Amino acid sequence: MIDFNRPHFTGRELKYIQQAVVDNHKISGNGLFTKQCQRFFEEKYGFKKCLLTTSCTDALEMAAILCDIQPGDEVIVPSYTFVSSALAFVRAGAKIVFADSMERNPDIDAGKIEELITSRTKAIVPVHYAGVACDMDRIMEIAERYGLIVVEDAAQSIDSFYKGRPLGSIGHLAAFSFHETKNIISGEGGLLAINDERFIRRAEIIWEKGTNRAEFFRGEVNKYGWCDTGSSFLPSEVIAAFLWAQLEDMTAIQDKRKALWMQYFNLLKPLADKGFFRLPDIPDYATNNAHMFYLVCNSIEERSALIKCLKENDIQAVFHYLSLHSSPFYRDKHDGRSLPYCDLFADCLVRLPMYYDLTETDVDRVCHQIGSFFKIDGRC
Ligand SMILES: Cc1ncc(COP(=O)(O)O)c(C=O)c1O
């Protein structure tokens, strides 16, 4: 069986966890490994301040608190995304105004954001789908003109760039995921990147259950107490130690994934040129971090048949998001606009196996099977 995803271990995770437990005598949060991971991101990507979290969802919830969302405030979110991009703001009381994807790729259509802005709009949440950048210059220009906060949902975007700038460094705030399906993993895990300095102090307090404990441990105050809202957003040192083992191997992990991605692209291009499906589109302003390899089929029927055929041949391929604007939880609250490109990707996109330990032979086999499926008119 070729799985859709298999978590990769560098081999040093247990050593570092043992170091946290035995040498550092610290397994609760905000210890040496947490600080080391946070510094890694601040130095490598120029994020002003980083805080590890227990998930990207948690980092988004922190962002929603920092945006000071009040009931009735509006937040613009693409409908083609994971639930958390919207849920974090809904929990803070926001109304979500869903935006459509572009025709060329699932990212938010920056050209259609301005028409969604009202006097209640507080924030925009661009999601860099598959680690491919949204058009951030246009989004930041609109946000500046209307005084809005931009929260990059960079869950899939580690080590990817927009016009040479790291994703996660452009918006006021950004959230990353280290869930086991991502390029760099810690099982569950996330990171809040804070690029606008006005949010830093409050973010640290929200992170530590509404207390100024981080300032206390730095010796900046002589006691700590309850200052604000918050939660227990910080992960234990066990998670951070695991993550450090992964971060050390980031270059090797990225290089291997990119090689597999290119292999898929080159083998499948002749079929895409014949019109059987579309391949991922990477705009000139964006890089590819090889988080995902997907195809866009010509219909939902063809996609279902392809997934079934691959499964029958021991290859696990999967579709992705369902449109959030027509989800059972939100359809009654959505304003009724149709979002055709979001629906197109919800119906027709299929993700192929992609992980560090996938082999070139595996990729050959997946592509060969896709080739035979289309050459006999979509039958298995
Ligand atoms: C775009 C996007 N945002 C947020 C999340 C949530 O990440 P986590 O599982 O780390 O909470 C995901 C998860 O895959 C995602 O794809």
Return d(Cα 196, Cα 182) in angstroms, integer: 26
- Spatial contact of 369 and 313, defined as CB atoms under 8 Å apart: yes
CA of 127 to the centre of ligand 1 (A): 10
DSSP state of 108: B
- Spatial contact of 64 and 92, defined as CB atoms under 8 Å apart: yes
CA of 218 to the centre of ligand 1 (A): 31
Return d(Cα 341, Cα 303) in angstroms, integer: 16
In ligand 1, the atom with minimum distance to the C-alpha of 179 is: 10
Kindly state the percentage of the chain with pLDDT values over 70. 100
Residue 127: CB within 6 Å of ligand 1?
yes
Nearest CA to ligand 1 atom 16: 82
Residue 376 reports pLDDT greater than 90: no
In ligand 1, the atom with minimum distance to the C-alpha of 178 is: 10
Q: Is 149 helix (H, G, I), strand (E, B) or coil?
A: strand
- DSSP secondary structure letters along 4-24: S------S-HHHHHHIIIIIS
Phi, psi at 295, each rounded to 5°: -120, 150
Return d(Cα 33, Cα 36) in angstroms, integer: 5
pLDDT, mean of residues 192-216: 97
Sign of torsion, CA 57 198 209 16? Answer: positive
**pLDDT averaged over every residue in the chain:** 97
pLDDT, mean of residues 279-299: 98
Q: What is the pLDDT of residues 323-354, one digit of tens each?
A: 999 999 999 999 999 999 999 999 999 999 99
pLDDT, mean of residues 340-369: 98
How are beta strands 74-78 and 121-124 bridged, if at all?
A: parallel
CA of 180 to the centre of ligand 1 (A): 11
Whole-number pLDDT of residue 379: 73
Residue 80: CB within 6 Å of ligand 1?
no
In ligand 1, the atom with minimum distance to the C-alpha of 182 is: 14
Whole-number pLDDT of residue 129: 98
In ligand 1, the atom with minimum distance to the C-alpha of 84 is: 4
CA of 10 to the centre of ligand 1 (A): 22
Return d(Cα 54, Cα 28) in angstroms, integer: 12
Q: What is the pLDDT of residues 80-128, one digit of tens each?
A: 999 999 999 999 999 999 999 999 999 999 999 999 999 999 999 999 9
Whole-number pLDDT of residue 340: 98
How are beta strands 349-352 and 74-78 bridged, if at all?
A: unpaired
Residue 372 reports pLDDT greater than 80: yes
Contacts of 336 (CB under 8 A, 6+ apart): none
Return the H-helix or E-strand segment holding 237: helix 237-247
Residue 84: CB within 6 Å of ligand 1?
yes
Return d(Cα 376, Cα 380) in angstroms, integer: 8
Residue 155: CB within 6 Å of ligand 1?
yes
Q: Which of 81, 107, 127, 179 should be mutated for ligand 1, with most atoms under 8 A from CB?
A: 179
CA of 56 to the centre of ligand 1 (A): 6
Residue 190: CB within 6 Å of ligand 1?
yes
Q: Is 107 helix (H, G, I), strand (E, B) or coil?
A: coil
Return d(Cα 114, Cα 101) in angstroms, integer: 14
- Spatial contact of 348 and 296, defined as CB atoms under 8 Å apart: yes
Return d(Cα 77, Cα 275) in angstroms, integer: 31
Q: Which of 61, 79, 84, 183 should be mutated for ligand 1, with most atoms under 8 A from CB?
A: 84
Whole-number pLDDT of residue 375: 86
Return d(Cα 353, Cα 362) in angstroms, integer: 9
Whole-number pLDDT of residue 380: 75
Contacts of 142 (CB under 8 A, 6+ apart): 110, 113, 114, 117, 124, 148
CA of 298 to the centre of ligand 1 (A): 27
Structure-token match 């499926």, residue found: 373
How are beta strands 95-99 and 74-78 bridged, if at all?
A: parallel
Q: Is 285 helix (H, G, I), strand (E, B) or coil?
A: coil
Residue 53: CB within 6 Å of ligand 1?
no
| Predicted TM-score (pTM) of this structure | 0.97
Per-residue tokens: 263? 């292999």
Q: What is the pLDDT of residues 4-59, one digit of tens each?
A: 999 999 999 999 999 998 998 989 999 999 999 999 999 999 999 999 999 999 99
Whole-number pLDDT of residue 55: 98
Query: What distance, in Å, lies between the first and last C-alpha atoms of the chain?
Result: 17
Nearest CA to ligand 1 atom 8: 56
Q: Which of 58, 62, 80, 82 should be mutated for ligand 1, with most atoms under 8 A from CB?
A: 82
Residue 156: CB within 6 Å of ligand 1?
yes
Q: Which of 80, 177, 186 should be mutated for ligand 1, with most atoms under 8 A from CB?
A: 177
Q: What is the pLDDT of residues 156-178, one digit of tens each?
A: 999 999 999 999 999 999 999 99
In ligand 1, the atom with minimum distance to the C-alpha of 60 is: 4
Cα 59 to its chain centre, rounded Å, is: 11
Q: In terms of Cα–Cα distance, which of 314, 274, 45 is closest to 174?
A: 45
